[in-house]
Amino acid sequence: MSQHVEIDGHDCVYELTGHGPCLTLLHSVGLSTREGWRYQRDVLAQHFQVLAYDIRGLGQSSRGSGPVGADRFAHDLGVLLTTLGIEKTALMGVSLGGFVAQKFAALHPERVTALVLVSTAPKIFAGFAQRRSERNDKIRAHGMNAAAGPQVESHFPDDFLRSNPDVIDWYKRHYLANDPEIYIEVMDDLGRYDSTGDLTRIVCPTLIVAGEADHSSVAGSVPLESARALQAGIKDSQLVTIPGAFHYPHIDHAGAFNAVVAGFLQPFARS
């Protein structure tokens, strides 16, 4: 059941399920809701107290006032954890959520027990700036629907698209529900994001998961470029690639993804 708490002037919607050490899930901007972890939450809740919430301005959480972006989102995460009485947590973030998780783990290493970074990057490949600008212009003029088709086609394998129309409809509904101006502001902020110099401050055990066939801007100029940069920058981190997966391996290859994550998180779970 979803609950509400005020975090620095915005209404934050969250859910806590399961029992054990805390594991916090951070969603992408494309899904823009805690429901993006639909294939992981019940599995993980068998061994963790799972905190899933909608990031400020996305999903059911309100925007409040002021700018939105990774810095603000990482600050909100800290306030949310403190408000809920959670001193330490493992973090798992996908895409946007991975950017926020990196930043939080670098700023507050004492609060993060383990880190799982999925389909994310220390910075977005600069060569995609023009493409992002053109997409933002289309969204301003015509709304989220102007980008929905290319988003779906580029983020999921063809065979998954054909075999799972219900999942694709679910994803598309959430994508279209984004507020265009908030979406544009977040995407522009991520275009400026650069954690390269902060990765050495991440000291907890870290797993990096990437779809082997992810061609999104987050993946880099070629698939796995960003994942390898994260692995090089975070000491003793592990990199696992999911064969055939695109930008959302936790959705299009949920079984393989869950097995990898469960194996990594097992030492931090409730026995």
pLDDT for 158? 97
pLDDT for res 270: 78
Query: Helix, strand or coil for residue 213?
Result: coil
Task: Please work out, in degrees rounded to the nearest 5, the angle formed at the alpha carbon of residue 183 by the alpha carbons of 243 and 248.
Answer: 10
State the average pLDDT over residues 39-58: 97
The H-assigned helical ranges of 118-217 are 129-142, 145-155, 158-163, 165-176, 180-192
Rounded-to-integer distance, Cα 26 and Cα 33, Å: 9
pLDDT of 1? 87
Residue 203 has pLDDT above 90, yes or no: yes
Supply the mean pLDDT for the chain.
Answer: 97
Given the structure tokens 């988003």, which residue do they identify? 151
Please compute the mean of the pLDDT values over residues 45-56 and round it to a whole number: 98
pLDDT tens digit sequence for 85-113: 999 999 999 999 999 999 999 999 999 99
CA dist., res. 75 & res. 137, Å (int): 29
**Helix, strand, coil % over all residues of the chain, rounded to 5:** 50, 15, 35
pLDDT tens for residues 242-263?
A: 999 999 999 999 999 999 999 9
pLDDT band, residue 129 (cuts 50/70/90): very high
How sure is the predictor about 193, in pLDDT bands with cuts at 50, 70 and 90? very high
Whether residue 271 is predicted with pLDDT greater than 70 in this model: the reply is no
224: Cβ contacts below 8 Å, ≥ 6 apart:
210, 212, 214, 241
User: What are the residue ranges spanned by the domains of the chain?
Assistant: 3-268
Question: Angle formed by the axes of helices 145-155 and 129-142, to 10°?
Answer: 140
Could you report the per-residue pLDDT of 140-177, keeping only the tens digit for each? 999 999 999 999 999 999 999 999 999 999 999 999 99
3-268 CATH fold: Rossmann fold (3.40.50)
